[in-house]
Amino acid sequence: MTGAPGARRPLPAAGWLLAAAAAVALWGCAADKPEPKPLEDYQPKLSARQVWLAQLGGPLRFPLVPAARNGLFFIAASDGTVRALLVESGREVWRADAGAELAAGVGSDGRFTSVVTRANEVVAFDDKGALLWRKRVPAAVVSPPFVAGERIFVMSVDRVVHAFDAQDGRRLWVYQKAGDPLTLAQPGVLAAWRDTLLAGQGPRLAALDPTRGTLAWDVPLATPRGTNEVERLADLVGPPVRQGSRYCARAFQSAVGCVDAERGALLWSRNVGGARPLGGDAERVIGADASDRITAWKADNGDVLWTSERFMNRNLSGMLVAGPTLVFGDGDGYVHFLDAAGGQTQLRMTTDGTAVATTPLAAGNTVLVVTRDGGVFAFRPN
């Protein structure tokens, strides 16, 4: 496999360089990848329309994950531009400039918004887009910051978690543990369970006290196997799927599993390859493997509910389950809407013909996708 155009540059440390090479799955593989399976004809059973379009400017060098909060979508361009757009209309509410090219997407709680530059600077804005502060961290960051409780949490590629005061940028604590020599250069897991911060640490989901950075528990979602460090690379891929206290995530090319955050216990894990984020709801967890075979697992025990090989080798995005519908994009810019209960195609929408670069994001009844050419497309059921 060779890096596709637009794949991230290798990160500086030797271990990270190999991990970055493994992570080009975000953009698909090069010419040695099998031909994508042709799309089948179908009878539409869902009606939707494109309600607005914005442009980030492209082609994107790598995908920057957007965020949604309080009726706004927050999007970022590689050049450092950050925008807040109304979910309903796409109208720009504010625009800001991080002052440098970005390495990680957007985190926001609606009041504070944060991005990270390629110079490892964490940059924070207020709810009108005014710059609040910038602070440097020692290592590269590719995961979007997580903003909650007037704190901004950042996880660098060496799995070190930094906590900052959202208002003034004071560094509150740093969590670091001895790690593996290789890490994955694609967005990991940062999330919240009640008053607990959840962070991916290799194949383990760790629960941290957000005020002190101390460890409450950590649970492995996978048991990495392999003859070398590259084969054993199994970092958790974000964002996770949450339903109540259940958090489900993929361990890179290794497993899919769910954890009960209330008890700090593994619910189930299934050995399966793949590199893209999962989707899910109260009943099922859905993801595509390395060949783009889609599988739905029963959320409470991991039993297989259905599989589909209709989208094999189509360079699928991460998955979103919105109500009864599964939504994902492919390498030709199509956005697919499937029945989440059985996997039947309900609708297919077009974008600009370039790959859907990020996992679809929902806010209310609006679904947002970002393409490799920098198109930001908003779809809504009729």
Per-residue model confidence (pLDDT) at position 91: 98
Q: What is the tally of structural domains in the chain?
A: 1
131 is a domain residue: yes
Q: How far apart are CA 152 and CA 146, in angstroms?
A: 6
Is 4 a domain residue?
A: no
Per-residue pLDDT, 256: 97
Q: Per-residue b/e over 186-217, b at no fewer than 16 CB within 10 Å?
A: bbbbbbbbeebbbbbbbbbbbbbebeebeeee
Look at residues 119, 265, 249, 110 and name the one whose alpha carbon lies nearest to residue 184: 249
Residue 364 forms part of a structural domain: yes
State residue 3's pLDDT score.
33
Res 18: pLDDT: 38
Residue-number span of the structural domain to which 120 is assigned: 14-381
Q: Which two tokens stand for residue 2?
A: 């060779």
Residue 337 confidence (pLDDT) = 98
- What pLDDT, on a 0 to 100 scale, did the predictor assign at position 27? 46
DSSP conformation letters of 227-269: SSTTTT--PEEEEEEEETTEEEEEETTTEEEEEETTTTEEEEE
Q: What is the mean pLDDT of the chain?
A: 90
Strand-by-strand arrangement of the 325-329 sheet: 320-322, 325-329, 335-339, 345-349
Q: Is residue 7 part of a domain?
A: no
164-198 pLDDT, tens per residue?
Answer: 999 999 999 999 987 666 677 889 999 999 999 99
Question: How many CB atoms neighbour CB 152 within 10 A?
Answer: 29
CATH number at residue 292: 2.130.10.10
For the entire predicted model, the pTM comes to 0.91
Task: Report pLDDT for 127.
Answer: 97
pLDDT for residue 9: 35
Provide block-wise average pLDDT over 10 residues at a time, the chain (382 residues). Answer: 35 39 43 86 95 90 92 96 98 98 96 97 98 97 97 96 98 87 83 97 96 97 80 89 97 96 98 96 97 98 98 98 97 98 97 96 97 97 88
Q: What is the pLDDT of residues 79-126, one digit of tens each?
A: 999 999 999 999 999 999 999 999 999 999 999 999 999 999 999 999
DSSP percent split of the chain into helix, strand, coil, nearest 5: 5, 45, 50
What was the pLDDT predicted at 21? Answer: 38
Q: Is there a domain that residue 134 lies in? A: yes
Task: Let me know: does 82 contact 43? Beta carbons within 8 Å.
Answer: no
Give a yes or no: residue 3 inside a domain.
no
Report if residue 8 sits inside a domain. no
CB 331 within 8 A of CB 313: no
